[in-house]
Structure 1
Amino acid sequence: MTSLPSNEALFHLNAKVIQRSRGKSAVAAAAYRAGARLTDARTGSVWDYTRKRHILDSYVTAPAGAPAWALDRETLWSRAELAEVRRNSQTAREIEVSIPRDLPPAAWRAFLADVARPYVEAGAVVDTCIHVPPAADKALNAHAHMLMTCRRLDPVSETGFARTRNNDLAAFFESGGRRGGGTRGDALKAERGRVAAVVNDHLRRAGSRRRADHRSYEARGDPRPPEPHIGEGRKSATVRRRSHDRRTIVVAGLRQAKTIENQIIEVEKEMAVRAKGFARAPARKDRPEHQQDYKLGLLADRFPDGDFTPFRDALYLVDIKDPRRTRVLTRDGAWVEADDESGTVSLWGPRSPAAAALANAIGGSTGYGVDTLPRTATAKKPGKNRRKGGIPEAEAISLADRWRRRGFSDVTESPAGVRVGLGGRSRLLDSGDHIDLIGPVSDAALRALAAKAAEDWSGTLELDGPWPPEATARLWTECQRQGVELAGYTPPPAAAAAWAAESGSVADMATKLRAVRSETAESDLLLGAAAGDVASLKKLAPDLRAFVAGHLDDEQRRDLARADREEVVASLVEFRKLGAAELERQKAERIAGRPSIFDAPAKPADAPARDAAPAFGRRSNPID
């Protein structure tokens, strides 16, 4: 792990000029950066850096229509030196830009081409060299040196370059003073911002969630202290003597401390995502402000293109347990929620400028629209006043578990209460003794509220404050369905009449369902008795038992056992009549002194013939 947080990419851009007055030569600079042997045609000097290591690639990019010599490094920079006649001339410009580690090497050329494109379009020839020396953490410190010509190409000039400086190129790096337009340093700040945008664009294409920021910690509002600067000379001297000096020791210590802190933050983020209850990490006495670090990290991981540092002190809870949804509770009790499925950022709760700004920041980084949801109504347990202060974590966990057992999956525990998503724009905030309805009062919200009262509030519910009349009538109806008393409320006649009609139809439907279930059960017993199951025969009603045992013969019972349940259900009335007639016949026989079929195992030989029973399973003789 590096000293950078998991959501940050290293950004480095250093701009300089090659000045003859400082003893610098564009040919020497090109030879050093390319690791080549070049001869300066102006002075005859030979610059040989072929033994230089860690040079991965080098190439020259020229504007469209450039002559062939512009792509030859030695000729290009010799002509650039010849084009400058003053002893204090600027013979080249250079930028050094870091290459993010998350970019694969195959994408480096495309990335550097996007960085250099405005310079080439402005008329400069750009000599690009990619260096990959080892970094302090043993990984590669990939970066590129871009050496640019200060004059446009001119085919009619003896040197091949224009007589005047390229002001379009200089405008990228110089402002204020004789350049005019803003103050000194503004142009370079803008150019750093442009290159950072190019870095982030390529990081997105590579699937990385890291992002680069060209601003200083102070400009971002980040309390982290900046590292002391280490120049190339100090770094080279440290490498040569293989030991640190006082400044490099300080920098190495700062980086080690940052690396350890990043590891701690990653553990805290994992705890916040996996731990049950409030999405938070344990407090640390050594750094009480660390609580905000991992919250910012969670937001940056979820929304890598947003800048959330300004909201550092406003964050109270960040919940990303659901990979499709993000819940943020600010310290003033407002909620900001981002839903990837609907593509919206919802803002609700107390009016909060910080929460509104945070919602806009998330919306700006994702392209989501911001939807402000009002608190529509409140209900409570009768006789209870709203609690003051937050809800204990143990109680919040218990409340949340009950909501999950009721079948709700979009549930978030928080010190402000348990937030329950109901789909669409409707939400509930359960504080234990109070429930706030947020957004539209949907049927789902009313069902959830009545279920809460039935299970947790002893079947009673009381309105707390004004309610929309139409919504109150719907709530009363839902309470009737779930057996909940809505205290102190008298429904309007229309609502009462509608419920009377609904409850009557429900009762009638329940009676019909019971009858259907009874007929189905009797049909199953009848089929079992016909197949020879004595237990099923004993469970039958007397008339149906007489029908199977006394009215049917063996062949008819076999046909009945093969019949479909639907056929039997449709014929139950007829079977009962036949069974009742069989009971009357058996009663008459007993009075006459003859034994019943239930009294003897076999029928009398002189028993009269029975009425014919319907045949089953035969297409030619269907049931009547």
Structure 2
Amino acid sequence: MTSLRDHEALCHIRASVIQRSRGKSAVAAAAYRAAARLTDARTGQVWDYSRKRAVTDSYVMAPAEAPAWVFDREQLWSRVELSERRRDAQTARELQVAIPRDLPRSAWGAFIADVVEPYLAVGAVADVALHEPRAADRGEQPHVHMLLTVRKLDPASPTGFAAKRNEAVNALLTSGGSHGGGARGDALTRERERIAGVINAHLRAAGSKRRADHRSYAARGDPRTPEPPMGERRMAAVRTRHRHDRRTAVVAGIRETQKLDNELTRTEMDMALKARGFARAPDRKTKAPHQQDYKLGILRDRFPDADFAPDTAAALYMVDVRDPRRTRALLRDGAWVESDDESGTVTVWGARSPAAATLAEAIGESTGYGIDRLARTAAAKKPGKGRRKGSMPEDEAISLADRWRRRGFADVVESPAGVRVGLGGRSRLLDSGDHVDLVGPVSDVALRALASKAAEDWGSTLELDGPWPPEAQARLWTECQRQGVDLAGYVPPPAVAAAWAAESGSVADTATKLRAVRSETREADVLLSAAAGDVAALRKLDPDLRAFVTSHLDDDQRAELAKSAREEVTASLPAFRKLGKVELERDPKAATVVAQPDVPAPADDYERRPT
């Protein structure tokens, strides 16, 4: 089996004729393909291939209401031979089809049935033989041989077959010349295309992303060299001799070269992905992009049913597939095409690009996803700076992307066009260092991201670049106030300024309450430590609480209090203070701490308790 690229499935479809003038017999052909022992009733010759290996299954398929003798292989092909009287008669047609490795064994029967169905529909009988020899890489190489009868069944005939050829079968496989139906080879080309469609339908059902292409390398514009054909007998002879003949040596060389090319492509693909999206430069000697095909190969792996335009590979700058649910392609003209499996959408944004539109349509047609075209909504910059001219250096883009990730944004992609930041939904941001473009809806998340960028990277200053929706400007100004950023040159409307004043006052009030809660929590911790006998903690209590611990409580009560939960003590602090105040009114010395002979605990030991 030839070496394939990652998105390719083997598409080997071969048609041939069993012709008496070439010394071939339909009975012999059937015996060989089924690994059976058959006797030709016309000549009396016995054909015994029962010791042939790698034949794992064989059976006969026939139209509905076919007689029982059709399913007896020896009778079937003996009657075929008897029905043909000419010395140059064509006794059978053969179709050989490879079964892709990605197709599970449980699906082989249905696959074969779909391939054979058009022949049965026009009255042919098919003798099916499944072969599973080893390929050159020692892996499986399953394929099916189908011998087809060339006459319809006729119960009134002595042989059981009609006197005339079945032209419907002939039309499926032969064209040109006296056969009509277009130029020579057109019918077989159509049949190869049909069978490739069957292969792809079953691969799709099996969950495989590989696809078969019936076209030749030349028709696809592929520089690879096709392998010379090799039969099972030739390969068996090579295995027996343990050395190549001239043809198998050529094929082995082609396969080894393709294997190395595949390894190079995989290595370059891996390098591109690990380089965070930065593509390698074009080859200066050839003036052609270096291995542009591997980028298109990544897209073919993701979208095996897409019909990409011939110039797609040249238009691609980078393809990001690190997220298995999302695919992002940056084109050389600065346009982005993104496919999201979760939302079922293909999004196009960035520079206006016919190539991006064509790519998005190809992906959309293959997946059924809708196409969403996003426009730039607004832009901002560091005061005094303009748009970057030229591409962003790789190390700068990586550093910029890392800062976005530290801010908590996970959907970040580096590229020479800038750092793309996904903000959820249809909102995006493109950061080129001193300039930021907002794409899609101007969401609150987008404004918070822009303000945080200005606070960290632009010295807490921000300037609008170009027109902004008035409502979005007001929301941006409010967000800048929250993060301590100056929005240069913008004066908020009175209503917006008043709303911020109310919000900032509420925030300040909330902060004051929070400080009070934290203070009470710390005081409860000190009280618990004092009840447990910590003299240093006792001294830190205010007089009311100190009197409560030393005079109002006895030893058992202090021990019980020390076991209480912090939340209960915090809630009870006002009541404890009242009780301590009563003790102080009764005895002003109730808050006095008597010196202890033992070494006290460290003065800040209570502060180590969790708050």
Which residue is 2:228 aligned to?
229
CA distance in 1, matches of 2:236, 2:541: 104
The 5 A counterparts of 1:101-500 are: 101-175=101-175, 180-222=180-222, 224-227=223-226, 229-230=228-229, 232=231, 235=234, 239=238, 248-273=248-273, 275-278=274-277, 280=279, 289-308=289-308, 310=310, 311-500=312-501
Change over 3 Å in CA distance of 1:551–1:277 after alignment to 2: same
CA distance in 1, matches of 2:413, 2:183: 50
Letter in 2 for 1:211: R
CA distance in 2, matches of 1:370, 1:345: 5
Change over 3 Å in CA distance of 1:579–1:290 after alignment to 2: same
Q: CA deviation at 1:175?
A: 4.0
State the Cα deviation string for residues 203-250 of structure 1 (Å, max 9, x = none): 34444443221112233233x233253365995798488765655544
The 5 A counterparts of 1:33-112 are: 33-50=33-50, 52-112=52-112
CA distance in 2, matches of 1:377, 1:190: 52
Which residue is 1:536 aligned to?
537
Change over 3 Å in CA distance of 1:580–1:170 after alignment to 2: same
Partner of 2:378: helix, strand, or coil? strand
Which residue is 2:592 aligned to?
598
Q: CA deviation at 1:129?
A: 1.8
Change over 3 Å in CA distance of 1:23–1:560 after alignment to 2: closer
CA distance in 1, matches of 2:517, 2:325: 45
CA distance in 2, matches of 1:556, 1:35: 98
Output the TM-score relative to the length of structure 2: 0.88
8 A contact 1:230–1:248 mirrored in 2: no
CA distance in 2, matches of 1:568, 1:140: 76
Q: Which consecutive unaligned segments of at least 5 residues does structure 2 have? A: 597-611
8 A contact 1:276–1:397 mirrored in 2: no
CA distance in 2, matches of 1:357, 1:238: 51
Partner of 1:384: helix, strand, or coil? coil
Partner of 1:137: helix, strand, or coil? coil
CA distance in 2, matches of 1:471, 1:477: 10
8 A contact 2:521–2:566 mirrored in 1: yes
CA distance in 1, matches of 2:523, 2:361: 66
CA distance in 2, matches of 1:489, 1:169: 80
Moved more, 575-584 or 233-242: 233-242
Q: CA deviation at 1:334?
A: 1.1
Q: Number of aligned pairs?
A: 593
Change over 3 Å in CA distance of 1:378–1:59 after alignment to 2: same
Q: CA deviation at 1:421?
A: 1.0
CA distance in 2, matches of 1:164, 1:500: 98
8 A contact 1:278–1:393 mirrored in 2: no
Q: Which has the larger radius of gyration?
A: 1
Change over 3 Å in CA distance of 1:18–1:118 after alignment to 2: same
Which residue is 2:599 aligned to?
none
Partner of 2:165: helix, strand, or coil? coil
CA distance in 2, matches of 1:394, 1:80: 74
CA distance in 2, matches of 1:420, 1:54: 55
Partner of 2:151: helix, strand, or coil? coil
Letter in 1 for 2:19: Q
Q: CA deviation at 1:104?
A: 4.5
Aligned alpha-carbon RMSD (Å): 3.1
The 5 A counterparts of 1:533-572 are: 533-550=534-551, 552=553, 554=555, 557-558=558-559, 560-561=561-562, 564-572=565-573
Q: Which consecutive unaligned segments of at least 5 residues does structure 1 have? A: 588-594, 603-624
Q: CA deviation at 1:156?
A: 2.2
Which residue is 1:611 aligned to?
none
CA distance in 1, matches of 2:508, 2:50: 96
Which residue is 1:621 aligned to?
none
State the Cα deviation string for residues 296-316 of structure 1 (Å, max 9, x = none): 332233333335473211111
State the Cα deviation string for residues 233-281 of structure 1 (Å, max 9, x = none): 99579848876565554433222111111112222333333x2533546
8 A contact 1:296–1:309 mirrored in 2: no
CA distance in 2, matches of 1:356, 1:142: 40
State the Cα deviation string for residues 467-526 of structure 1 (Å, max 9, x = none): 111111111111111111111111222222221221121111111121222222222222
Change over 3 Å in CA distance of 1:136–1:539 after alignment to 2: same
CA distance in 2, matches of 1:484, 1:251: 69
CA distance in 2, matches of 1:478, 1:497: 14
CA distance in 2, matches of 1:337, 1:444: 20
Change over 3 Å in CA distance of 1:153–1:455 after alignment to 2: same
Aligned-pair identity in percent equals 68
Letter in 1 for 2:276: G
Change over 3 Å in CA distance of 1:548–1:125 after alignment to 2: same
8 A contact 1:377–1:436 mirrored in 2: yes
Moved more, 380-389 or 307-316: 307-316
CA distance in 2, matches of 1:164, 1:371: 59
8 A contact 1:279–1:319 mirrored in 2: no
